[in-house]
Structure 1
Amino acid sequence: MTSVDQTVPKLRESGRRPAGPGRMRTFSSYVNGAALDSEDWVYVIDADALLDDAFASLTLKRKLERGLLEPVGLPPSVVAKIAKADRKTVELALEAAASAAPLWAAFPLETRLEQLGRLIHAGIVDRAEDIVDVLVQEGHPLALARWQVSGMLDCFGPQSLGFYRAQMLQEFRERDRQLSVRRLPDGVVCLNPPQNAPLSSSLLGVTSLMAGNALVVRAPRSAPLGAMFILHEIVVPALDEVGAPPGTLNVVCGDPAPMLSAWLDSPYVNDIMYFGSSENGLPFEERCVAAGKKPILELAGNDTVVVWKDADLELAAEALTESFYGSGQLCMIPNQVVVHPDVAEDLIKHVVRAVGHVRPGHAWEEDVLLTPVLRNEKFFACLRDAVEKGAEIACGGHAMQLDETRDPAGIFLEPTVVVVRGIDGAREIQAVRSETFFPLLPVVIADPEPDDVLLDRFVDYVNSNAYGLRNSVWAQDSSVVDAFVSRINKGGLLKVNDSHIGFLPFLPTHGGTGLTGGVFGEANYPILRTSHLQGLSVSLGSRPREAVFGAWQARQSRNR
């Protein structure tokens, strides 16, 4: 075994921001209230080092994980090491969750929901800069890291907590009975967050704890740091403070296939929350149902933005640039636009102008929004498909280097807008029909028709989308807005004249129908989706016979 310095060139550190706490973070598996180490570890390389020298960084990571290098004297580019859980640890986590679930469910709703939620919110506030630092180390641009933190604060803010409580318990008094409609926890929930947003998705899944469930989280092996950090540093202390039993939360890192199979095979698991592609998620839903598990899917998005003829085009274009944030590798961004023909050309000019402010760079830079796309062949295949089917490139279409110089070998992609003329046949183009996960935005220009006909066409177009994550509308005429609001029934979220991706209290961050959420798709409030309704009546002295027959007699008396 050799040392790091003997085998891997030192990685350039010039131009970097301060490296947070200045030490490598270490996270073990967290099972039954205790840390469990492992013989195998996953090493996390700062995304900035990957940008500087991807080959050297990946070589270092690979050799460390294979045991070919002593993990001593590591460069600052190695920001974390995470224990990789073996099969025994995974099984212990499930057993611990099963033991904790009934104990935790017996805690008062005020403790589980309001007190825990307030503590998590306070933890996010106190550690906001640390959370941002971890997100940037994972490669999230600074602006988008702050956006994620703002979403977390809304999710656990007082307004949202009040909404959750109102949904979890409603109480009534009917003569001499106390009636309740309440939601009860399903039991053991397992969470598989996505590798593109593991930190925020793990924290979203934590709301299932507030329903009274025990939770097992798989930190993705390809990006484990964010999930491990937020759960170990924010959620575990909050659970300890409210006295939650050991096993209420368990966190392990590992490969997806064997862990998902272990969850499906386990008699302890009730629900599985799965983030991933539609291609993988829908077959997994079938496996869940066959195994008797509740599948809670958060899959792909292919969101539509409608721009009507009276829209504020400057603001609409500003919102449409969100399509390129994170190089399009976010599920909840605008993926396609359908625009009224009267303003189509003006909208395209506004969008192309606004795109000029979306640039690549190091994740820690203030105004960077593009991230590297290490494998871009699918982008160019998708773009070629669009052009061959009649689409026109309004801007972009090339790979580029960090300084925005066009270069076929560049690891960034230019924000690309393609123009598709006509709604009919638009979905024959792959970039319109499917989620692309690239900085590629199709603008579909409707053919000229009377406005009442176009309104119907636009509504039908949005509702016929196979995906159902979220949609947004830009229009000023109140009757037009009302028509869209009352008739668009696809998607977990609909926004009007607003940021497409901006977070808001009360409203869901994710969730939807179709290829986004599977057969059971809806707005994704994990506290609700991992619980079930129960009606409750507590009599204060009624007679059973009167309960059976008295209602008819009382009704007859009132009708006389």
Structure 2
Amino acid sequence: MPARRLRTYRSYVNGECLDGGEWVYVVGADALLDDAFASLSLKRKLERGLAEPAELPGSIVAKVAKADRATVESAVEAAAEAAPRWAAFPLDVRLTELGRQIHRRIVERAQEIVDVLVEEGHPLPLARWQVSGMLDCFGPQSLGFYRSQMLQEFRQGDRQLAVRRLPDGVVCLNPPQNAPLSSTLLGATAIMAGNALVVRAPRSAPLGAMYVLHEIVIPALEEIGAPPGTLNVVCGDPAPMLAAWLRSPKVDDIMYFGSSENGITFEEKCVTAGKKPILELAGNDAVVVWKDADLELAAEAITESFFGSGQLCMIPNQVLVHPEVADRLIANIVRLAGHIRPGYAWEEDVLLTPVLRNEKFFSCLRDAVDNGAEIACGGHAMQIDETRDAAGIFLEPTVVVVRGLKDARETDAVRDETFFPLIPVVVADPAPDGELIDSFIEFVNTNAYGLRNSVWATDRAVVDAFVTRITVGGILKVNDSHIGFLPYLPTHGGTGLTGGVFGEANYPILRTSHVQGLSVSTGSRPRDAVFGAWRAMERRES
């Protein structure tokens, strides 16, 4: 087990670190595995003042100041004051230069970021995966794309024309407790649009968000001279803080991560309060496997479903497979799933994480079987050494086979996001290929969710049909890792129950800004401008 040091983070408001009256204590992932009851009991005693924090045991890896109501309100005030001053900075400073500074610091602290993620319980390979995504998000290719979308300039006669995106103002970010560090860094790209940002570090998992802001983003902002209040970070319970943001007339946008049920309700509250909602909710991603697919590679991508025990929104959640290759694909998935194991997060080959409340897993599995599904592998709880045990806090990677598309969504595991290591493979009934393509596309497009979808096929006409006609989701990938990050492309965002009625691929720098057209002339005659296009047409015709 790697050595640890206690990290301490305070609220950061208007350029100053503030203690607050209470502390939140973070228990290391190893301690939760070794003795969850004792570790959580100590955490509760410390936070209630029933234990002496002078000599914290090694199981406590961080303490974070919990913000009081006044601090939460002052964070919004500071952001509102800073927003117009920060927006006045040149685009190349607040976007390109800030992005480069953040990228450089991610590179310099890459291993430390991994260490923090592991302390939070993210398996080592998945910690490295997240850092890889951060590097792409702030890499030169992505920064160049962001800039091209924020400003496009043209000449027409004596006029300088531009289509530009301007910041919305004050953006508040509510990252999720299952991936606070990477989600917070994604949300921080809203600053590059010229917004001031307020972040709520999750009360139940504050370390990652606090770390990445204090150690990466704040120093980068200071380096380029951003005004105090451009970034503010506080830790607290979600309900009162979200309510405060909704009430405040100074908040413009709220970026919310959470369940679809809660997120859609929150979207309605945002619209009623005059706020722009930017939602990152559940995913129920589909992987389509055609009869000519590379089945070994497709199975490898499908088993990404089990990474983090399925407790990630962007993993595969269901498979649609051509009946001619279904048996071979399932055999490949089962074989690869057998190598995915539990363990301590810092171990090199561990991909499974604890599932502390597994009753939903077994309920979902019973429903699948009751609806006629077959269990191809898994289906049991287990201990860290992979011994099957009903009291175990790990779950075996589980594959269930559902026959036929027509009634597939009567099975809960197909219809809804599961968020545990269980994936249904839906085998289509035999039919002509043209009919199967149509039914596959309809099945994907009628998914109530829409985060990521991916397709495995080699026939160019088949690929073109899927690419042209699959219209849901924020990302569509062909013959590639389902969860892998790429420059230029978004990492998040989707349609339906994933992103709400305004859902689309989520580039926070774009979602937290708005389009404005601009014309700057040296002195055009107004009447000529009024009829400019008409007269140009007449000249062409004559």
Question: Normalising to structure 1: TM-score of the pair?
Answer: 0.96
Counterpart in the other structure of 1:373: 355
**1:252 aligns with one of 234, 239, 259:** 234
* Residue 146 in structure 1 maps to residue 131 in structure 2: no
Does the C-alpha gap of structure 1 residues 171 and 386 become closer, same or farther in structure 2, counting only changes over 3 Å? Answer: same
Q: Is residue 461 of structure 2 the alignment partner of residue 479 of structure 1?
A: yes
Map 1:118-517 → 2, pairs under 5 A: 118-517=100-499
Aligned to 1:94: 76
Structure 2 distance, partners of 1:293, 1:469, is: 23
AA partner of residue 553 (structure 1): R
**Distance in 1 between the 2:534 and 2:410 partners?**
60
Secondary structure of the corresponding residue to residue 468 of structure 1? coil
1:415, 1:373 → 2: CA distance?
12
Task: Give the deviation of 1:113 after TM superposition.
Answer: 0.2
How far apart are the structure 2 equivalents of 1:552 and 1:251? 54
Q: Which amino acid aligns with 1:500?
A: H
Structure 1 residue 541: Cα displacement: 2.4
Please state whether the residue corresponding to 2:8 is helix, strand or coil.
strand
| 1:537 alignment partner, SS class | strand
Using the alignment, how far apart are the partners of 2:98 and 2:414 within structure 1? 42
Distance in 1, matches of 2:203 and 2:20, equals 14
| 2:513 aligned partner | 531
Residue 547 (str. 1) matches residue 529 (str. 2):
yes
Alpha-carbon deviation of 1:540?
A: 1.6
Q: Does 1:26 align with 2:16?
A: no
1:467 is paired with a residue whose SS is coil
- Matches of 1:166 and 1:379 in 2, distance apart? 45
Q: Distance in 1 between matches of 2:533 and 2:110?
A: 57
Quote the Cα distance in structure 1 between the aligned partners of 2:479 and 2:532.
Answer: 54
TM, length-normalised to structure 2: 1.00
Give how far 1:291 is off: 0.3
CA deviation digits over 1:283-307, x for unaligned, max 9? 0000000000000001000000000
State how far apart, in whole Å, the 2-side matches of 1:402 and 1:554 are. 75
CA-to-aligned-CA distance 1:1-25 (integer Å, 9 cap, x gap): xxxxxxxxxxxxxxx2232xxx211
Q: How many residue pairs get matched? A: 542
How big is the shift at 1:76?
Answer: 1.4
Identity between Structure 1 and Structure 2 (%)? 79
Partners in 2 of 1:156 and 1:467 — Cα distance? Answer: 28
Aligned CA RMSD, in angstroms, stands at: 0.6
Tell me, what secondary structure is at the counterpart of 2:492? coil
The SS at the match of 1:261 is helix
- Structure 1 counterpart SS, 2:493: coil
Which secondary structure state, in structure 2, belongs to the residue aligned with residue 427 of structure 1? helix
Correspondence 1:105 to 2:87: yes
Give, in angstroms, the shift of residue 551 of structure 1: 3.4
Instruction: For residue 337 of structure 1, report the CA deviation from its aligned partner.
Output: 0.1
- Deviation of 1:357 (Å): 1.3
**Cα distance between partner residues in 2 of 1:554 and 1:476:** 49
Kindly state the Cα deviation for residue 73 of structure 1 after the two structures are TM-superposed. 1.2
State how far apart, in whole Å, the 1-side matches of 2:221 and 2:315 are.
Answer: 33
Structure 1 residue 544 displacement after superposition:
1.1
How far off is 1:38 after superposition?
A: 1.2
Whole-angstrom distance in 2 between the partners of 1:545 and 1:433: 60
Tell me which amino acid in the other structure corresponds to 1:388.
D
- Residues 499-547 of structure 1: CA distance to partner in whole angstroms, max 9, x if unpaired? 0000000000010100000000000000000000000000022111211
Provide the rounded CA distance (Å) in 1 between the counterparts of 2:531 and 2:183.
Answer: 51
Pick the aligned partner of 2:63 from 57, 76, 81.
81
SS at match of 1:417: strand
Structure-1 separation of matches of 2:447 and 2:55: 53
Indicate the residue corresponding to 1:7 in structure 2.
none
* Counterpart Cα distance in 1 of 2:533 and 2:286: 51
Amino acid paired to 1:56:
A
Letter in 2 for 1:241: E
List per-residue Cα deviations over 1:54-87 (Å, max 9, x = no partner). Answer: 0110011010000001101111111100000011
Q: Structure 1: any 5+ residue segments left out of the alignment?
A: 1-15
Structure 1: 4+ residue segments shifted above 3 A: none
* Shift in Å, 1:260: 0.1
Q: CA deviation at 1:259?
A: 0.2
Mapped to 2, the partners of 1:541 and 1:269 lie a distance apart of 38
Counterpart residue type for residue 190 of structure 1:
C
Deviation at 1:552, TM superposition (A): 2.1
1:17 maps to amino acid: P
Letter in 1 for 2:78: A
| SS of the residue 1:444 aligns to | strand
Q: Can you give the 5+ residue segments of structure 2 that lack an aligned partner in the other structure?
A: none
Query: Aligned equivalents of 2:116 and 2:241: distance in 1?
Result: 25
